[in-house]
Structure 1
Amino acid sequence: MTDMVQRRDLLSASVLMAAASLPSRGADAAGADPAMTQVVQADAIPWRQLYNFPPGTAEQATLHGGLHEPGQYFVLIRWHPGYMSAPHSYETDRLCIVLSGTWWVASGTDFAPGATVPVEAGGFVRRVAGTPHYDGVKKHADGPAILAISGIGPIHFSLVDPHRPGWREV
């Protein structure tokens, strides 16, 4: 054998023996320690009626932070068919991913559901701070759309027409 092969084998054997003598950490490595990994199963998601929306239109589940607290937030929104938000804006960007269903989105101050653009599951939407927009699920959809939304709070929601409700039936 060459000197290089002998040195490699000796080094490999030394590393293997050292690793075998380390205490086992199997018990610490298994599972999800809630101090390190928080898990919320689908059936435990805390869905609540979306603020000021009638029952059966839209629900929200706050999974991290809070919309009215400083810092990052992460929420789920479930829009039911036949309902959309009224034109509104936020002071900070919102990053949205459609998890299921089809979400219909548009920009601008005029509410025109026929001008909305469909975003399918897996699609991404960035709502740019300070720009008016509206969205929801059209009446003849097969089911609700579920969105994951993240941003920096606290949010400041402004309706284009504050004299009308924040939702529309379509």
Structure 2
Amino acid sequence: MLIASSLLAAAGITGCENGTSPSNLASTSHADGHLPDPNETFVLAYDKISFQPWAELPPTSGQMATLYGDLNSPEPYLVMMKWNSGWFSAPHSYATDRICVVVFGTWWVNSGNEFSPQDAVPVGPGGYVKRTARTPHYDGVPAAAHEPAVIAIFGLGPVDIQLVEPAKPSWRQV
């Protein structure tokens, strides 16, 4: 959980750069109402993070919040993914390594070209997953899960996602 906390603390920087107002900090202020200087230490409570649906993906599959940087630019980025139960990504790879920490729920992961979600392994809160550049993998949350999984993902852009089978859907309902 220490890694997840560190990632989330770093995440607030972009929220500040994107114009997040001090009112978003209300649930994290000290009892006397004191707030840290957001130019020095920016804090964004989880319930103030804005998750957005991904373009061109099934609307109930998952959402993403960009907390720092840009996935499509040559720079560091930090995002939080919210995977809803019953959805997995298709086997794919990225141009650079990705560092992942499960924040809430259980995320199921596997590697390889063959899509076999029943063989994925569970990673619970605080669990760490490193995705090595240009190695195929897939992940998600089985339909039997009772809650979504939220994952903090750090990497260097551009992501340049490559599907193993581009003619098939990038996210699959399971």
Q: 1:102 aligns with which of 100, 106, 109?
A: 106
Structure 2 partner of 1:49: 53
Question: Deviations along 1:3-48, whole A, 9 cap, x unmatched?
Answer: xxxxxxxxxxxxxxxxxxxxxxxxxxx6311211222222221211
Within the alignment, does 1:156 sit opposite 2:137 as a pair?
A: no
- Report the structure, 1 or 2, having the larger strand content: 1
Shift of 1:52: 2.1
**Structure number with larger C-alpha Rg:** 1
Structure 1: gaps spanning 5 or more residues: 1-29
Determine if contact 1:91/1:157 at 8 Å carries over to the other structure. Answer: yes
2:146 is paired with a residue whose SS is coil
How far has the Cα of 1:60 moved from its partner? Answer: 0.2
Deviations 1:100-119 (A, max 9, x none): 11100000011001110111
Shift of 1:165: 1.4
- Count the aligned residue pairs: 141
Matched residue SS, 2:153: strand
Distance of 1:47 and 1:142 partners within structure 2: 19
Aligned mate of 1:63, from 63, 67, 78: 67
Runs of 5+ unmatched residues, structure 2:
1-33
| SS of match in other structure, 1:53 | coil
Q: Does 1:116 align with 2:120?
A: yes
Output the amino acid matched with 1:138.
P
Aligned to 1:22: none
| 1:115-134 mapped onto 2 (5 Å cutoff) | 115-134=119-138
Identity %: 48
Deviations 1:83-114 (A, max 9, x none): 00000000100000001111000000110011
Q: Which residue does 2:42 correspond to in 1? A: 38
Instruction: Verify the 8 A CA contact 2:136 2:164 in the aligned structure 1.
Output: yes
* Aligned residues of 1:52 and 1:166 also touching (Cα < 8 A): no
Partner of 2:83: 79
Equivalents in 2 of 1:95, 1:110: separation in Å? Answer: 22
**TM-score, normalised by the number of residues in structure 1:** 0.80
Give the aligned CA root-mean-square deviation in angstroms.
Answer: 1.0
Distance 1:154 1:36 in 2: 27
- CA offset digits 1:64-87 (Å, max 9, x no partner): 001012211000000000000000
**How high is the TM-score relative to the length of structure 2?**
0.78
Amino acid at match of 2:143: K
Tell me if structure 1 keeps the 8 A contact 2:95–2:159. Answer: yes
Q: Structure 2: which amino acid aligns with 1:158?
A: Q
